[in-house]
Chain A
Amino acid sequence: MKQNSNNPVTLKAENLTKVYGSGHTEVVAVRNVSLAVSRGEIVALLGPSGAGKSTLLTLLGLIRPPNMGKIIIDDTIVFENHKAKVNVRTFRRQKFGFVFQKTNLIPFLTAAENVRLAMEIDDQPAKASRKRAMELLEYLGVAERAENMPSQLSGGEQQRVAVARALANRPSLILADEPTAALDSVRGRQVMELFAKVAHEQNAGVIVVTHDHRSLEVFDRTFEMEDGQLRESGSQ
């Protein structure tokens, strides 16, 4: 288990196992996986379809509970085996940012409102959230589309807005599931570089599940997943 030794560890997963079904229908989606990610670090999870990448991401993102193992976020034990030790929804709100292949922007909110939403549901003042939303959109190069609805944005622009939303609450960790799958190679590379920039400049740990082997040089470390097991395949 290798990690960026200069920054504190934000995510630590120990011996995570996730099993679906039981008896003869039992499927072990994630088998005894351990992983640590530091702030400012960007790692890739690679592997074929059905290898368990997305399931691992849902475990790390506190979306599903593991059957066994431990998840520690910023020194707080969040899951121990299948038991949540904290309010996971609050933890997700305050510690995580999510980006997906489908941008999942709320269709009835403008780009700026989508970013503000993440802050306002965390009870941040409206004025401050408006200011930060504009700063983030500017940082990601889509400030001029702030008042546009998601349907009026291109795929790349939507993905940038989704990244802005993920960054809104200054998360410790950003989890991205196939964020470039719907983009062409140029835009896909731009988004990957954006994640690297975010990791390094915003000091957040970034885990990206991807099939895209063309941009692997942007990652600090890469992991291969197969049959629910994780192994480190490279580091910069």
Chain B
Amino acid sequence: MNLASRDIKHNIGRFILTTIGVGLLLMIVMGMGGIYRGLVQDATLLIDRLSPDLWVVQKDTRGPFAEISRIPSNLEDRILAVPGVLSSCGFVSHTLQRERKNKPWRITVQGLSWPQDKGNWLPIVAGRPLWKAHYEMLADESLKLPLGEKVKFGKDIYTVVGLTRAMSSPAGDGMAFFTLTDAQSIQFDTSGEATRLERSARYARAENLDLGLTQPQTMERTLGPVSQLPALGPPVISAVVVKVNRGINPEHVQSIISKWPDVSVYSSEKQRQFLLSGVVERSKKQLGLFRRLLIIVSAIIMALIIYTLTIDKLHDIAMLKLIGARNIVILNLILQQALLLGILAYGTAYIIGHWTFPFFPRKVVLISHDLWLLAGIVILISILSSLIGIAKALTVEPNEVLA
């Protein structure tokens, strides 16, 4: 006869409510871990998806994920000329905030080096990759843009031609992919008046250069579009991602490019480390602290619940002792209830979590390692929390039945 299950059956309503309460608490612990995993996954998504061998960034900066990096777009061609380089693509990434349906709408603009890169490597779940050099975009599902939707950024209108899944920035904003030139246009979109002022300023700058004095035709070009005057225009891309030929050691290429005075070059792993140690580290510590606190709170709450359940049964426990029950019978009664409470609360946390996590504002990623670890912790705190109840039960004297 199992006394623990009989007692639970007798107080089933209270036990269910307690289980749900502890389960919700464990769900938050589970969710915290999942949010951290989601944070790491979001942060490293592009690095992992692009998987280049090298990242070339502005000199003495840590790359586009850690800080602002600005390099000229013609660096792509310079790098392509390095022996052993298979491909080099400009990398442009920036975040916009607009209003959509009267709500703030954040979108991370990502440039693709069209025509080499049409976005075929992306997880496209509907539509197609980019086919045209301009005015097409791929949007992540989280941006809630339907296929064929036309969206105005700056002076131009872009059509959603494909939808991606689970592509979000380290900040958790949904990504949209454009050709590199469109991404730049969106990034550097300025009003007509600002353009006129910039051209005047550029003209004034060129006038003071030898080039302007010796090459009068250059002066005329300063008044044209930026794209026609790259040498005088502002730096326009964040980084260049480089892939090396098969059989070539990326470190060899890295050693060549790193000698250039205007850029820094990092391996993908290094870029990943910068990202995790910079952008994610503080969030990781914060979430880790919350998780630990919540586990302690859960343990205290469980201990109090088990203690209260034991106190409620002290008279029965004294009676059990009086009729000669061994301590193991009493220990089993309390420990089994604590374990059952812990296991069922964990199951409740898992089920409710699976149901609610997709609606969380940040991505929650549950991995089996974290789930098993939490299950182990729950079993441990169930045992520890039952110890207080067991200690109390074992000190009860059988003569308390007579009280």
| Interface residues, chain A, with chain B CB atoms under 8 Å away | 54, 58, 63-64, 89-94, 96, 98, 100, 104, 106-109, 113, 116-118, 120-122, 126, 149, 165, 177
Contacts and interface: CB of A to CB of B under 8 A. Distances in A.
B169 to A, nearest CB: 56
B9 interface: yes
B10 interface: yes
Given A63-B398, A177-B402, A108 B10 contact: yes
Contacts of A107: 10, 316
A149 B331 CA distance: 24
10 contacts: A58-B402, A89-B321, A92-B398, A104-B316, A107-B316, A116-B1, A117-B320, A120-B1, A121-B320, A122-B324
Contact of A108 (B11, B322, B323, B325): B11
Contacts of B1: 109, 113, 116-117, 120, 126
A98 B401 CA distance: 11
Interface string B188-218: 0000000000000000000000000000000
B326 A89 contact: yes
A64 B329 CA distance: 21
Contacts of B322: 63, 92, 98
- Nearest 10 A/B pairs, CB to CB: A93-B324, A108-B10, A92-B324, A121-B325, A108-B7, A104-B319, A63-B399, A108-B6, A89-B324, A106-B316
Contacts of A90: 324
Interface string B323-366: 11110010000000000000000000000000000000000000
B243 interface: no
A121 B329 contact: yes
Contacts of A165: 323
Interface in B1-30: 1, 3, 6-7, 9-11
A94 B399 contact: no
Interface of B: 1, 3, 6-7, 9-11, 315-316, 319-326, 329, 397-399, 401-402
Contacts of B315: 104
A121 B324 contact: yes
Contacts of A121: 320, 323-326, 329
- Name, among B319, B324, B397, B398, the residue most crowded by chain A CB atoms within 10 Å (CB to CB): B324
Given A54-B402, A108-B11, A116-B1, A98 B6 contact: no
Contacts of A149: 10
A121 B401 CA distance: 18
Contacts of B401: 98, 100, 104
A71 to B, nearest CB: 16
Contact of A58 (B9, B321, B323, B399): B399
A126 B1 CA distance: 8
Contacts of B326: 89, 121
A91 B320 CA distance: 14
B402 to A, nearest CB: 6
Nearest to A113: B1
Contacts of A54: 402
Contacts of B325: 89, 93, 121
Nearest to A104: B319
Contacts of B402: 54, 58, 63, 100, 177
Nearest to A106: B316
Contacts of B316: 104, 106-108
Nearest to B400: A63
Contacts of A116: 1
Contacts of B321: 89
Nearest to A89: B324
A213 B315 CA distance: 30
A49 to B, nearest CB: 14
A52 to B, nearest CB: 13
- Name, among A98, A113, A118, the residue most crowded by chain B CB atoms within 10 Å (CB to CB): A98
